Structure 1
Amino acid sequence: MSELSQLSPQPLWDIFAEICAIPHPSHHEEALARHILSWAQEKGLFAERDAIGNILIRKPASVGLENLKPVALQAHLDMVPQKNNDTPHDFTKDPIQPWIDGEWVKARGTTLGADNGIGMASALAVLADDSVEHGPLEVLLTMTEETGMDGAFGLQPNWLQAEILINTDSEEEGEIYMGCAGGIDFTSTLKLEREALPTGFQTVKLTIKGLRGGHSGADIHMGLANANKLLARFLFAQARPLDLRLLDISGGTLRNAIPREAFATLALAADKRVALQEAVQAYLATLKNEASPLDKNLTVLVENIESNAHPLKNGCRDRFLSLLNSMPNGVIRNSDVMKGVVETSLNIGVVTFDEHQASINCLIRSLVDSGKDYVVEMLTSLGELAGATTTPKGGYPGWQPDANSPVMALVRDTYQKLFNKMPNIQVIHAGLECGLFKKPYPQMDMVSIGPTITGPHSPDEQVHIASVGLYWQLLTALLKAIPAK
């Protein structure tokens, strides 16, 4: 039994505990998918998968509600795998360890997977709980949303029967989402030129860590520090004065998570070691003065290590550092139409070296296609100046808001009746799958709701317990209030 069993609504939390027990990071959702399919079939529900692996489960309407419009509850199967550096955890083998901390459920040293595991659990709990009244119901669980929306891209027309889709991937109780940003991946690749290490040089590892990190869309407006950018800033300033030879860089692990850590392997003359340490301490003091209170645990370290790698030639080093240091990051533009909402942003998510090339992987988001195009052109220009190869790929559309959406109005009115206050109607800067669903199902009316989740895509992820109860009240009341066909 999980300690989550003491929480209410119990069916939802019990199912979420089961989800946590089965590893399901992006590209490794198969075990969880098979478990859910078997679970549905044991309950006598119609359940099948499409060619890409998406799951569709159908449950007949409650007695007397057969004439309601059919509804699909939708969530994605995968979770973002992020862990603290000192946490031993293999996301492909080890279960998530949820625990209760006062008003919140957290995980021990890793992402929790409440994004989108709570939404998935709520949809399955509706299937499991015959006391929940609803019309004809479908549950759609999509594959590999976090790294490319594979399931949404592969969704075929004429599979779903629903006229209304309720996406459960939002992360703020009391807010109703009726639109979202689109996105596109962008990679800059620079060929590396290496040379022998000069005699008398020693190697060190420079580490930036302790940053909060977070969701590259929903948290991008918070001004959180990006470890890749902090590392580039220091190295650009100090590489020439200290004659630092660059052997290796790695930073971030996912293009849709704000990087919390970045590392550089450097070589320098022995008589420059003290100067490097002094520069690091001065830089840390500067960052502490500038940093958001949310990044109060920021640390910059330098330590001696052994390495047999060859450093970059200085000209190649300078081109790479100039490129990374000059690339924009964070909010590019706020929306003029939706006050308080980011229109266009960029996250420099992953930086890697191998023997022959460096790669910088970014995720661009925008509410408008022209915003994505502008950032693509900006990054392409910078790449050309540095002699890098640039590749935009995997673009997906935003979800255009519909101010006349009947289901949005229904959710708003239902929320007001339940809680005696008006919810906020929002457009989210994160990427929801609804925009892609509109292609095979252009007439489907869609809305997105969810409980309060903070720190998604980071080990600080947590879900507010009371908000899950409020979300469940709203979801179950909404299903009963769906209008007739």
Structure 2
Amino acid sequence: MNEHLEQLAPQPLWRHFRTLCNTPRPSGHEAELVSILERWAERQGLVHDRDGFGNLRLRKPATPGHENAPGIILQGHLDMVAQANADHPHDFTRDPIETYVEDGWLRARHTTLGADNGLGVAAALAILEDSELVHGPLEALFTLEEETSMGGALQLAENWLDGRVLLNLDSEDRGEVFIGCAGGADVVVEAQLPTAEPGPGEVAVQLALTGLSGGHSGIDIHRGRGNANRLLVRVLRALEAYDIRLVGYRGGTLRNAIPREAFATLMLSADEIDAVASRVATLEQELRTELAGVDDGLTLAMTPLEARPAQALNAHASHMLLAALNAAPYGVERMSSSVPGVVETSNNLGVVSLDEGRFHLCALVRSLRDSAVNDLADRFRGLFDLIGARTRVENAYPGWTPATDSALLARFRRLHRQHVGSEPAVKVIHAGLECGILAGKYPALEMISFGPSIRGAHSPDERVELSSVEEFWGLLRALIEDLACDTAMGA
């Protein structure tokens, strides 16, 4: 599948990306891809090893005469976000990604593309097999489970890597180079809430809020897009005037993707069906008006259910849960005062579920300041303590502190001017690059992050600009060759 990818330029990079598209690799299911890459490395005569977590390293010795150049680590993550449109059956653990080209962009049919971070991985592999490239010692570090927990970076072995320079290939904007990123943590809330049998006059209905754009919970959090969990809770709060009771809820699939869809099952009096249907239609129009120009595809539908649930939350529990969810922090909390135009602190209400009284929420808190991550997580704890829920913080990872005086940054800027003809924008990103974690384990590393233009990451709208991939490839090769001539930096 995806034979057409090998007709794109640069051909070596796209050939490897085809392998990635044809090999299922959602977070936690990277083992098959790791085995494929190890076999490929053996055919190339490359040394390969793994650390205790399973992160993969491939090594290539320097071009003769350049052994004293600084060792370079090409770094990316093997896993991808698994998101598909609700009406498209796709098993990310078994099915390949089907790609196509449209108007200069590569896209996937009804699913995420995996350009995040498949293109960075493909570029590193293509570099390793480039026989014409002059280079110092090369390592390619491919981490696991970045999209779900940063697990690979967090568990990365210390005193394992040899390089002095790390090039993170997980950025998503041509013409930009990143030197800092937000840290973050998962906030998990759970509770077993009391239920009661439906009353004799109650019937069940389902509400479905769909059609939102979604997106990356760091890069897109400031764009004003609708969060399906936030919006459906708002609808449910409005319907409390009709004495509804929650039966079940399902919204969002990943804590780092802005939820595009949410579904709720509720009980209400049969006498109120028409009134509730009318109110739902009004609420749909209100939300569509508010999100006009941002999320024009929003739909809100109510469907009567024939099956009668055995239990629903009791009236008090239903009210308290909706009140807490309605008050929960979400979206942009604060903009940075030191880095203009960059979000400092935010939260994504990523995954919410309710099933037979079991409530679960997973939110992702991000900030350029670790203290702000801790504070926002504590606000969740304080809020959900009021309804007797248990809150824990997991998978915390530090931010990456910018180093504006970096010699590596100065080198990249010079090469960008030479090869692209313009000065790159130096950026700090409100997303969880692995650089912050890696810097904590290897503080002597100099690092930058750059990549091609990717849009709609973490959603089925994900796409990559083909011309930007060629530019990215040229810059990466130029930087590696430039570093190969620098024996002073490698000393």
TM-score (norm 2): 0.97
The Cα of 1:355 is off from its aligned counterpart by 2.1
Task: List runs of 5+ in structure 1 lacking aligned partners.
Answer: none
The Cα of 1:223 is off from its aligned counterpart by 1.1
Q: 1:242-283: CA deviations, max 9, x gaps? A: 121210011001101100000001122222111111111101
2:347 corresponds to 1:346? yes
Contact kept in structure 1, 2:312 and 2:357, CA below 8 Å: no
2:255 corresponds to 1:255? yes
Judge which range, 297-306 or 20-29, deviates more: 297-306
Who is 2:417 aligned against? 416
Contact kept in structure 1, 2:171 and 2:178, CA below 8 Å: yes
* Distance in structure 2 (CA, Å) of the matches to 1:427 and 1:62: 34
Q: 1:394-417: CA deviations, max 9, x gaps? A: 211001111121111111111111
The Cα of 1:420 is off from its aligned counterpart by 1.4
* Distance in structure 2 (CA, Å) of the matches to 1:104 and 1:470: 14
1:51/1:205 CA distance change after superposition, 3 Å: same
Judge which range, 252-261 or 150-159, deviates more: 150-159
Who is 1:222 aligned against? 223
SS of the equivalent of 1:183 reads: strand
Who is 1:245 aligned against? 245
Who is 1:131 aligned against? 132
* Distance in structure 1 (CA, Å) of the matches to 2:436 and 2:328: 28
Who is 1:120 aligned against? 121
Contact kept in structure 1, 2:246 and 2:313, CA below 8 Å: yes
Q: 1:173-222: CA deviations, max 9, x gaps? A: 11100010000110122321111111132211100000000111111111
Who is 1:272 aligned against? 272
2:315 corresponds to 1:291? no
* Distance in structure 2 (CA, Å) of the matches to 1:85 and 1:156: 39
The Cα of 1:70 is off from its aligned counterpart by 0.7
Give the aligned residue type for 1:255. Answer: R
Instruction: Show the 5 A alignment for 1:165-244.
Output: 165-239=166-240, 241-244=241-244
Who is 1:22 aligned against? 23
2:5 corresponds to 1:34? no
2:64 corresponds to 1:63? yes
* Distance in structure 1 (CA, Å) of the matches to 2:308 and 2:466: 48
Contact kept in structure 1, 2:247 and 2:355, CA below 8 Å: no
The percentage of counterpart residues that share the same residue type is: 46
SS of the equivalent of 2:146 reads: coil
Matched positions, count = 484
Who is 1:45 aligned against? 46
Judge which range, 197-206 or 359-368, deviates more: 197-206
Instruction: Show the 5 A alignment for 1:343-422.
Output: 343-422=344-423
SS of the equivalent of 1:185 reads: strand
The Cα of 1:380 is off from its aligned counterpart by 1.7
* Distance in structure 2 (CA, Å) of the matches to 1:97 and 1:307: 40
Q: 1:430-457: CA deviations, max 9, x gaps? A: 0011111112211010110100000101
Give the aligned residue type for 2:40. Answer: W
1:356/1:312 CA distance change after superposition, 3 Å: closer
TM-score (norm 1): 0.98
* Distance in structure 2 (CA, Å) of the matches to 1:450 and 1:53: 25
SS of the equivalent of 2:277 reads: helix
* Distance in structure 1 (CA, Å) of the matches to 2:272 and 2:480: 68
2:6 corresponds to 1:2? no
After superposing on structure 2, the runs of 4+ consecutive aligned residues of structure 1 that deviate more than 3 Å are none
* Distance in structure 2 (CA, Å) of the matches to 1:435 and 1:262: 33
SS of the equivalent of 2:422 reads: coil
Who is 1:455 aligned against? 456
SS of the equivalent of 2:395 reads: strand
Q: 1:274-304: CA deviations, max 9, x gaps? A: 1111111101110111005231111001112
Give the aligned residue type for 1:364. Answer: V
* Distance in structure 1 (CA, Å) of the matches to 2:158 and 2:311: 53
* Distance in structure 1 (CA, Å) of the matches to 2:472 and 2:441: 28
Contact kept in structure 2, 1:223 and 1:292, CA below 8 Å: no
Q: 1:117-169: CA deviations, max 9, x gaps? A: 00000000101221222111110000111111111111122211100000000
Contact kept in structure 1, 2:181 and 2:430, CA below 8 Å: yes
Task: List runs of 5+ in structure 2 lacking aligned partners.
Answer: none
The Cα of 1:309 is off from its aligned counterpart by 3.6
Who is 2:80 aligned against? 79
Who is 2:478 aligned against? 477
Judge which range, 226-235 or 300-309, deviates more: 300-309
* Distance in structure 2 (CA, Å) of the matches to 1:63 and 1:295: 55
Give the aligned residue type for 2:10. Answer: P
Q: 1:74-110: CA deviations, max 9, x gaps? A: 0001000000001110000000111111210000100
Contact kept in structure 2, 1:247 and 1:309, CA below 8 Å: no
